Amino acid sequence: MRIEDIRQRLRALGANPRHEQRVLRLWSQALPQDAGRREIAHFLPAPLVAALPVLGAELAALAVLRSEHVGEDGSARLLVALGDGQTVESVLLPRDGLCVSTQVGCAVGCVFCMTGLGGLVRQVGSAEIVAQVALARTRRVVKKVVFMGMGEPAHNLDNVLEAIDLLGTEGNIGHKNLVFSTVGDPRVFDALPQGRVKPALALSLHTTRAELRERLLPRAPRMSPEELVEAGERYARATGYPIQYQWTLLEGINDGDDEIEGIVRLLHGRYAILNMIPYNTVDELPFRRPAWEQAADIARRLHRRGILTKLRQSAGQDVDGGCGQLRARAAKPVRR
């Protein structure tokens, strides 16, 4: 379901734009059902008031909590069932953040990612994206939403932009606290500057070597690291928010001196933050996580060379964290 479908339902029940705003605000912010109930009864048209319980139940059914896996770092992985029984992951992050999924599966096929292994199953509708936020808000405060869960947001651009627009307006999330994450797609750089809500941008770089990037991200649009950084820099300057470059650190693959030199060459003087996230090793894939001390040394060396680098843990590692792992384990017996 798309947000536009909900708007059409509301209009058919006599809602004007202000009525729509009111209902979408109640839903996306997960305000208690009785919040302003008397006011709503006076403010909204009678057919709409009568339909609200049914509509509310339908919206709640868009994203239903299947299971919750709490990590030691304050994160919690939510396995979320969509209306047709497909499942996606949302992750409650420390400091009021939430990571949402934008597709069931993913077509990019990053070779180190469990979600990429299974290919694309289906798109997640804009209403289902917002429903993940509404569900999370029944459990915790959410002030930041990152589109870094399952899926490539650029491959579901209309739905993701519609969700961003609602979350940045009625959903009460600051625009720079909405983080669109992509492997890089020219359509993103055309579309994001046009929106009334301009999210922050995270670009998955992972390597500075074009030929290695093609091997690691086999079905990502063909943008070289240089083209990606050029396009990112234009967006950063236009919005005033730095680009967050994402780098999944894979032992023996992209943790060498050549990459450090490449990063300095590409990012020095750019309006950018480099987030280095040591890979979360899984049995099913042949990649390994470098030692934390080695990762910390890389981050220190980059810092000394003038690159603002943050070394991060991927949230919820102790609960089968990592893109698509929870869903993958839910779909088959756990091997220990």
Residues in contact with ligand SF4 by CB under 6 A are 106, 108-110, 113, 115-116, 150-152, 183, 323
Assess whether 170 carries a catalytic annotation.
Answer: no
Supply the minimum distance, in Å, between the C-beta of residue 154 and ligand SF4: 9
Look at strands 272-278 and 243-249 and give their pairing: parallel
Task: Give the nearest distance from C-beta 54 to ligand SF4 in angstroms.
Answer: 35
Sheet holding 200-204, edge to edge: 63-70, 76-82, 87-93, 97-99, 144-147, 178-182, 200-204, 243-249, 272-278, 309-311
As beta bridge partners, residue 204 has 246
Which tokens hold the place of 8?
Answer: 């059409």
Nearest distance, CB of residue 115 and ligand SF4, angstroms: 4
Catalytic residue among 99, 106, 110, 323: 323
Q: How far is the CB of 249 from ligand SF4 (least distance, A)?
A: 14
**DSSP per residue, 153-209:** GGGGHHHHHHHHHHHTTTT---GGGEEEEES--HHHHHHGGGSSS--EEEEE---S-
Selected catalytic residue, list 89, 128, 152, 259: 89
CA distance 274 to 278: 13
Residue 160 to residues 18, 101, 130, 153, 154: CA-CA distances in angstroms? 23, 10, 9, 6, 8
Residue nearest to ligand SF4 (CB): 116
Nearest to ligand SF4 of 53, 119 (CB atom) = 119
Q: Which is nearer to ligand SF4, 152 or 259 (CB)?
A: 152
Q: Which is nearer to ligand SF4, 110 or 192 (CB)?
A: 110
- Closer CB to ligand SF4, 6 or 228, in the complex: 228
Q: 142 or 323, CB closer to ligand SF4?
A: 323
Both tokens assigned to 196: 């009334």
User: Look-up: residue for tokens 């999924």?
Assistant: 101
Q: How far is Cα 292 from Cα 313, in angstroms, rounded to an integer?
A: 10
The token duo for 171 is 């959903």
Smallest gap from Cβ 248 to ligand SF4, in A, equals 8
Look up 251 and say whether it is catalytic.
no
Active centre residues (catalytic): 89, 323
